[in-house]
Chains A and B, each alone.
Chain A
Amino acid sequence: MSAEAESEPKATDLAAVWGLPLMAVHCPSCDQVHLVPEEAAPQPCPFCRQGPVAPQPAYLRDEPPEQVVPYRITEGQLESLFEKWARGLWFRPPEMEPRLLAHRTRRYLIPLWLVDGQVEASWRADVGFNYQVVSSQDSYSERSGWSSQQVTETRVRWEPRLGYLKRTYNNLPAPALEDHRQLMARLGAYDLGVRSAYQPEAVQGAAVRIPTLDPQAAWPGAEVAFVRAAEDECRQAAGADHIRDFAMEAQYHDLNWTQLLLPAYVTWYREGGRIWPLLINGQSGKVSGVRRVSVQKASNAAIVMGLVALLILCIGGLLALLGIALPPAGVVGALVMAAGGLLALAAPIPPIWAWMANRRSEGT
């Protein structure tokens, strides 16, 4: 065997490592790699649903994720969550039916690094102590003279502090995905305090995102977590209520990385020739996705309004003609024609509104 062949990385045996027959698939549309059950492939991308995925070898750690945050939202609760999410939307697309959305939903797991380590650092910051200032609001009237009411106001006194710390921090979260921040912005916060050890059943039938950041690439995010943890502890050490301008020069030892899977659901609906994916936080139930308005439904409404307006105009016209013989009928006819005209003018409003609403929702 040549030296090149020896150095070539070996694809991970997913079934052996993860305990389930999984395969890695790449989506050319969203450029994400997922692990999906072997029997499910080939299917559209579980995340963006935009096109067929292509199998590819996976180069992962030789161990499965250590921990999983369990689902708190069951699949039976999803329909009511979708109903709540879509409530109040006019001209709702036919595919945005809660029952349909719930039917299409599948479990989706997002990786996150947890880092343990010891920090030795010199630090400095401004710490703020709350204090109360006594003021007064006095009032005067000719009848009762002066009266005074004491007012207490809380202010912050800032003082410099510096020092040295040697602390061990465990399970600090660090992103494992390049788009972690965007995903969390959509899904909201997770309670990482509730975790369970990984079992192959945890990924049964689910799509799992493959980390795009290895520990080395994820280190900047982990360092931010270490700094935040140290900042909060320094505030506590000073007995302060606030801290600002925290800076530290640190050395990190005994770093240990473990992987955690965060629970989510993914589903989709089709509108305007495109697929719109939805993400659901499997712990809090927060639904995130674009609420599209059906332009087709809005256009249909406009056509109906136009036809009704035409009918009213015709009736008005007839009454106006009758007004030649019977003048009061002419007046009524004019009024009816005016009403029909107004309705005809209002007819384009629904599609225009739908177009604008869709533009706004795409923006968000």
Chain B
Amino acid sequence: MREPHSATAAWAPPPGFAPVPSQVDGIVLYAPAPKKEAEKTRTFKCPSCGGITAYSATEKRLVCSHCGQVQQLDAESIGPRAAQFEFTLETMEQAQYGWGTERRELACSSCGAVVAVAPDALTSTCAFCGSNRVLARDIAGELVRPTALIPFTVDQQQCQAQVTQWLGQGWMHPPELRHVRALQKLTGVYLPFWIFDADIHANWKAEVGTERTEHYYENGEWKTRTVIDWDWRSGRVHVPIRNHLVPGTKQISRVLLERAQPFELTALVSYEPGFLAGWQAKNYDVPLQKAWETAKEEMRAQSKAACYRDTASSHVRNFSMTADFADERWRLVLLPVYVASYPFEDKTYQVVVNGQTAKVAGQKPVAWLRVWLAIAALLAPGACVALLGLLALPLGGAGVVALGVGGIVFIAGLVGAFVIFQKARQSEEL
């Protein structure tokens, strides 16, 4: 490959073009100059006093922590139009790298979480597990840069109030929860999310059953029964999937992140490092390929459900289908989340708050004594009535009625008890 020819002094390229190597001698080549955003780093200092500025969720601008001066951020509101990428073989090479601002990583030696923070941040506590064993290290290179983000709109005070209120809710939790002090460590983190789009063209084939009422003669009388007629059918369904979110981190339970959704993606703005000033931002630890596999599994399930709906029958057997994926695209975005963990009775519980809508999702310890008492209260009436009925059976009809009523009430209580138990179990687990 040869360098551009030197005999071109008389001719000048238009602005915005830069020379690129030519493979033919005597031909000078210019291409659009690459954007240098990814290369340069920025620090956020107040133009008036030189103090540290940070993005304010309430002001929606950069605010100086020293003199209070505000600076507007120059980001384009792009919503779901955020730049998308195809699944090329060189996807990783094409993506832009770096965060566009000087950041360093904090790695938790307890849970392994890695968080990018501003160089002046002195976070010493892991936002994910509450551990103080956090080590600063150089930021990992070659990361795909996010193309868009949703800025925080909920500030820490609002978030604190929401979480305190949420902790105090529910009779099955210890009342001491509302006084948990560790929530002072509520941390705003931009979490990486992969967003996928795809068009699935699914062809299905199955035996579909149609119900038919049949009259037949048996034992000297006419009776009716329902029979199912089976016949082979096929169909074609187009399933457009847009904005399918897959978390880019495993450090926070996907269950909690799903409970904290939805995010309003129309609020997406183009990636501007200023939004990260004063906030933490998590690097993705779920690579694109892995996230795509997860998304594809969910998309397959959606396309299968769409094919079943297309059969227009509840009786389907020998079902088979093909799903042709087309126009698959991906984006990496940062979504705002507050993360906190709090210790309670020797255990650590995680809380996630949607930084856009203030929706709270988290683990809550359960006062199991209260739960078991409630379950006992639900089961006791039915059991007692049934027992009485059993004892009264020798007396005849009244005993049978009591046994029947008791049985029904017991079963209803059993269902209620099951629901309460499930709810209690879910609120503790991730």
A residues within 8 Å of B by Cβ? 122, 131-142, 146, 148, 152, 155, 159-167, 233-234, 236-239
Contact = CB atoms under 8 A, between A and B. Distances in A.
B373 interface: no
B87 A161 contact: no
Nearest to B1: A239
B17 interface: yes
A145 to B, nearest CB: 10
A159 B31 contact: yes
A162 B325 contact: no
A122 B27 CA distance: 10
B32 interface: yes
B29 A163 contact: yes
B255 interface: no
Contact of B29 (A134, A136, A237): A237
Given A136-B325, A163-B30, A236-B24, A131 B320 contact: no
Nearest to A249: B11
A81 to B, nearest CB: 41
* Most chain B CB inside 10 Å of its own CB: which residue of A141, A162, A163, A166: A163
A152 B322 CA distance: 17
- Shortest 3 CB-CB contacts between residues of A and residues of B: A237-B24, A237-B27, A141-B320
Contacts of B90: 131
Contact of B325 (A138, A163, A164, A237): A138
A interface, over-half SS: strand
A135 B319 CA distance: 24
A116 B356 CA distance: 69
A234 B20 CA distance: 13
A134 B87 CA distance: 6
A137 B13 CA distance: 46
A131 B85 CA distance: 13
Interface string B246-282: 0000000000000000000000000000000000000
B86 interface: yes
B321 A162 contact: no
Interface in B85-126: 86-90
Contact of A164 (B8, B32, B324): B8
A162 B322 contact: no
B318 interface: yes
B145 interface: no
Contacts of A136: 296, 325
Nearest to B321: A140
A133 B91 CA distance: 9
Nearest to B8: A164
A237 B88 contact: no
Interface string B62-73: 000000000000
B88 A134 contact: yes
Contact of A238 (B29, B321, B326): B29
